[in-house]
Structure 1
């Protein structure tokens, strides 16, 4: 048997296996993304039903103040969004300011 034929015998099934695995991985990733989206919708419905405000949405104003260099306004907005005290809000805003 020619060496090229031997390589072909092993290469073609390996290539087919890799293509099938890549397609399967892509499908699993799409399924996972869809499941996460459904879970997120359910979580949002629960939060809304219970009257709980998602702090991440409320903290967008805090991040905007930080981007504009208005730390005091950011602390004020953080306190309003979370109900935290002044010290806790200042520490949280300082931690947020240190993040990219």
Structure 2
């Protein structure tokens, strides 16, 4: 019985690792697909001449950047878009250029 327990635990740990790896792979695939669809929609909107209105909070972000308050601008961007920290930081840095 004592020799079976480590084997069972090892098998369970390996099963969990495989499940996590599979779900991570699926998430990356879905993210890639979403980016592709996003680009296609952007192209279709551009072709149709449809302008996507800018969120009013983006003006607030620009104002914060003009005041040198980058961290606050990132926070506002995250609140306005629901994006993660890295994505918001990248977007705010693009607006700074």
Does TM, normalized by the shorter one, top 0.5?
A: yes
Q: CA deviation at 1:6?
A: 2.5
Q: Which runs of 5+ in 2 are unaligned?
A: 68-75, 81-97
> Aligned match of 2:17 in 16, 19, 26?
19
Which ranges of 4 or more aligned residues in structure 1 deviate by more than 4 Å? none
Q: Which runs of 5+ in 1 are unaligned?
A: 70-95
- Tell me how far apart the structure 1 counterparts of residues 9 and 16 of structure 2 sit (CA, whole Å): 10
What does residue 54 of structure 2 align with?
56
Q: CA deviation at 1:7?
A: 1.4
Q: CA deviation at 1:27?
A: 0.4
- Tell me how far apart the structure 2 counterparts of residues 45 and 10 of structure 1 sit (CA, whole Å): 53
**TM alignment of 1:36-75, pairs within 5 A:** 36-56=34-54, 60=58, 62-63=59-60, 64-65=62-63, 67=64
Q: CA RMSD in A?
A: 2.8
> Aligned match of 1:10 in 1, 8, 22?
8
- Tell me how far apart the structure 2 counterparts of residues 59 and 45 of structure 1 sit (CA, whole Å): 24
Q: 1:24 to 1:32 in 2, by over 3 A?
A: same
Q: Secondary structure at the match of 2:54?
A: helix
- Tell me how far apart the structure 2 counterparts of residues 12 and 34 of structure 1 sit (CA, whole Å): 33
* TM-score (normalised: structure 1): 0.55
Work out the number of aligned pairs and report it: 68
Higher Cα Rg, which structure: 1
* TM-score (normalised: structure 2): 0.57
